[in-house]
A and B are shown apart, each in its own frame.
Chain A
Amino acid sequence: MLPYITVLLLCQLAGEVLVRLSGLPLPGPVVGMVILFAGLVIRGRVPDGLEQTVKGIFANFALLFIPACVGVMVHLEVIAAEALPIALAVLGSTAATLVISGRLMQFLMRSKGGDTP
């Protein structure tokens, strides 16, 4: 497990360095994801240990968002002052995005041959 966590951190580090040097408008971890993806494509398969490590991380992925979400409390006043526009804008656009992009993707994937299981 430890070697694979190190691999993940190394990819993130490489991603952060690349972002700083290139000025790309992406966060380091997302670029790190691309680097690991490229590494896996070159290697041709996912090592078993990496698969296991990643499964362990994903099992508690939701936990990792909690500290950031608690930060919403700092802005409770602004949210309360404009609760209706904020709530409807967030809910309405999220629902519209889910429906339209989901339907469009499903339609285009089917019309492309329909071999998705």
Chain B
Amino acid sequence: MSQDFAGLWVYLSTSPLLGLTSTLLAYQVAVWLFEKSGRTPLLNPMVVSVFMIVAFLMATGTPYRTYFDGAQFVHFLLGPATVALAVPLYNQLPILRRAWPVILLVVLVGALIAGGGAVLIAWVLGGSEKVMLSLAAKSVTTPIAMGIAERVGGIPSLTAVMVLLTGISGSMAGAWILDLARVRDQAARGLALGIAAHGIGTVRALQMSEKAGAFGGLAIGLTGLFTAVLVPLILGLLR
């Protein structure tokens, strides 16, 4: 009997089915918990799902790569979902026409604070060089951030971790921080979330309003572009 079970596990652990199913299952359990708790930001469904899956993978000794073989089917949909952000953006066309210089200026300032501020704090606290280089691009969507890290001598996979930690903190605390700072304008809330916390922040913005989501989506691309240009330039001046 236990032999059968071991055989079954060997089969399941090599098939993409497990990674895919556990992702969907964990997410739905997390959403259920979130609703049951009266939507408390502490039980952010994405974060809770990640904890559940990591605990499951560690308990079963499953490597991340094996899990990702299945989960990549969900991961792949990030691409078309990013493209889809053009729709809420289009619905904000009148504001974009009027306010594009303001938007560019705010994204430039925000991108400098996001990257520069993180590196500065880590430097003051005695972070290692590899951590500091990986922090520089942390507010940028993962593919751009990894490209920047590669160019400046950081570690791309560690950068991806910083990007995700940033996204998670922006998603969990973003609404609260913006409330505290009395930022009520939906365009400003969305843009700030997109600059500070890329796609994960934009998901949070979309939950606030379509308008906030549109500006978040806009900020993902612009912050990525500015950071990709600025980080190698500034590091070149410092070295």
Q: Do A and B come from one complex?
A: yes
CB within 8 Å for A27 and B224 given contacts A66-B46, A88-B121 = yes
Interface residues on B, range: 35 or more
Instruction: Determine the residue in chain B with the shortest Cβ distance to A59.
Output: B206
Residue of B nearest to A56 (CB): B84
Query: B23 at interface (Cβ–Cβ under 8 A)?
Result: yes
CA distance A33 to B219 in the complex (A): 12
Decide yes or no whether A74 CB sits under 8 A from chain B: yes
Contact B113 A101 (CB under 8 A): yes
- Smallest Cβ distance from B80 to chain A, in angstroms? 4
A93 with B79: CB separation less than 8 A: no
Chain B interface main SS type: helix
17 A-B pairs, CB-CB below 8 angstroms?
A: A9-B79, A9-B80, A11-B86, A58-B213, A61-B81, A63-B46, A64-B75, A84-B125, A86-B135, A89-B127, A89-B135, A90-B166, A91-B169, A97-B113, A98-B178, A104-B109, A105-B106
A1-13 CB contact bits vs B (8 Å, 1 = yes)?
0000100110110
Whether the pair A26, B221 counts as a contact (CB closer than 8 A) is: yes
- B75→A96 contact, CB < 8 A: no
Stretch in B6-14, B35-43, B49-57 touching the partner: B49-57
